[in-house]
Structure 1
Amino acid sequence: MQLQPTAADAPCDPSRPVPRVVLEARLRSLQIWMVEQGLQALVVFGHGSALAMATRSHGNLRYLLDWDAEYAQSVLVLPAQGAPTLAIGNVFSVMRAREQAWISDVRFGKGPGLAKEVLALLPSGANRVGLVGREEIPMAVWDGLAAAGASGWIDCSPELARRRAIKDAVEIAYHREAGRICDEIFERLGPALHAGKAVFQIQAELEHHARSRGCELCKTWLTVAPIPDRCRYTRDENYHVPQEGDQVLLGIMLILHGHWGHAIRTGAIGRSNPDAERIFARVAAMHTAMFDGLRPNAEISTVGNAGVVPAEEGVFQFRSGHALGHSYEDPAGTSEFPQPYEAGQATGRPALVQAGMLFELHPNLFIRDVGAASIGDMVLVTEQGAEYLTTFPRHLQIF
């Protein structure tokens, strides 16, 4: 079923915000579903994107409203009929939201006050209410909602996850542009490594490029060392000045008008070494197997498992991939890539790959006192198979 009949063909410029016609079509489609389910209202909670990879809830508000409160919490109240309304936990974000004239009513409330405003925005007498984002609602907000009966509200998170899983043409256009920006950052990495600057300064310059291209957020981890040991994100773990013979891993995570971009590359400065080359070859083989397995109707967990090695002492891996979209880890298609260090397993019915899904495939391998490698790419599933949205060369780079 096509969920957004007027949105998929809407013209879009990925350098500009999502067209309003796209958002209105998504809301209309959701309201039709709400009527079918007998829901009088839907409450959608979202953290701001400042939490970056640590939250999934902001993605629902970007998908439905193209709204992001950055450091604050927001709640959409959508009646089965009528205009969307917002309650926001930051007064400056409220001012910004009120400039979006099509959002008819925007309220300010912090903590318990946010719950109070949400309840005031519900249609009078509503007794069948849907809820999305319960798992990330802070207790200060939840206590107020629960006292008014929110514990009995209906969990509608699976429906939003289902709608977001298959990307339409508009979403794909933004993700393609996000992938291009990742490629541009990789192109800048080599010269930056030879500039005599500390690694944290190189990170700042690379992240600035994404911001200058219109991204609202860019986070990197950059590990530069004779033997790379972990993903290094912060200034205080990246004072090292790159030297010849250092191994290099760069991970990029960015948001472009609410659409995530993500990629990872591995290389060496001047020369690599046999250990690094052996580890990279293992990761490259996993990457190829995952990409080749990403076909419509394949089990997603099979793709994820192709990027995992048997547990052994001194070997560390983070998850080999995840679904990508309006959240860094999109809600549908991510749990099939469990974290190896948590010894997790995918649960529930097998989830199948479908055309229109977008994944980040990033098999990785860290071997204590030996080295590390990772290759990460945005991969779109088409009827014909998998397609890379990030195109920077995947071989072991020599910078």
Structure 2
Amino acid sequence: MRPLVDGLVGAVRVNGQAVLCDLGQSGTVPGLRPQTCAQYANSTAGRAVLLQSMAAGDGCVQFAWSSALDLSAAGGVSGALTYIPVGRDAVTYAVTDNSDLPRTLTVADLKAIYTCDAGYVGAGPAYTVHPLLPQAGSSVRTAFEAAVGITDADVVGGRYPCVSDTVGGGLQAVAENDGRVLSQSAVVPYAVSAYLAQIGQAVADHRGRAVLGSYDGSTPVGHDGGAGDVTFAVSSRSSVPRELTMADLRAIYTCDSNYVGTPGAVGIEPFLPAAGGAGSVRAEWESLVGISDVDVVAGKYWCLHDSLNGNPVGENDGRGLPGDGVVPMSGAAYAAQLSGGAIDHRGLAVPGVIDGRVQLVNTDTGSAAAGRWLVVPTGALGASPGRDLFVGSGSGVCLETEVIQRFGYGVGMGVGVDAGCGDVSRRTL
């Protein structure tokens, strides 16, 4: 959750001024003492240090964050802390895009795999399926163990010999939210937020060939229709940025030499789906970037291609996209291919972000979904800046929905998870 809070620290403004600061940085914060603001990498430590600061009355710590809702008595003061929902996340499983395992399972299936049921993983010691867990202490590990009904004590005690938190013969620890450890026969827990943030390069991309699975009807990733259906895609190994403005894209698709270079010295290669395709991605994209198909067909834009390696570019097909290539793609189609709901033609393509709007969003409201929280002294919420920053859907933090989604968290959580960003009804006992 820390990357999200870092993003909010950089984005939130009140009256045009930054009013949050990061742990270890200091400066004058309007309405607060000129000391370091609260932000802790460990949610338990964050709450504890916040309470210490409140008890001392030093004004040094203004808020903390937490991946868990803890309404137990705080500092001996009833209602001392308010837990304010800021987003929704979930933990699911990941496999490779060519995995031996299906992308849709049940909790019972996952429990059988992680308890080494021979009907699922084969006979040991040469198991045919290899369930992995992130290293001890990982919040993803803890959440996944709870979801599938196993205990960490049993894992550590060797009760499940097929389960490992290392790879490479025990030489490499399995890092949290890192799909690069997966083989075709392996499975590992993954946070939906981390996967989406890695796709958009809000954080370092460690997905490798990992795709997210779903269980018991959950849908980890969906398409944000409010962002429009068509976006651009680039290779995950691309030299082209994954975040561009619409002005950048218009320049690319009108062959501006500052972007695409010149014949014989190409910079970025823009592609279009072949004319006459079954859908309208080509037509919608041409409309977005302000070009006409008549001009494209007539050769007005020398840099545009609708064939690749001698074959027509398929609609919503990212296979073979070169490292300097850009192609339009439907966000809904990409989400369907990622989830296994459609034949997967993504290849190495990842959807881009246009003017800050993401296409793929966290839509998981299944059994493993949970709120993510900002922890604020209740007494700080009645006046500025606390009220302006945290209270209600129109608060400074809650207005940053693009930031929240950019780091892979769901918004508009709804019943069963929490009441939505800015709700201040949850106070410690």
* TM-score, reference length from structure 2: 0.23
Determine which structure has greater relative contact order: mean sequence separation of CA pairs < 8 Å that are 6+ residues apart, divided by chain length: 2
Instruction: Name which one, 1 or 2, has greater alpha-carbon Rg.
Output: 2
Please, what TM-score do these two structures have when normalized by structure 1? 0.25
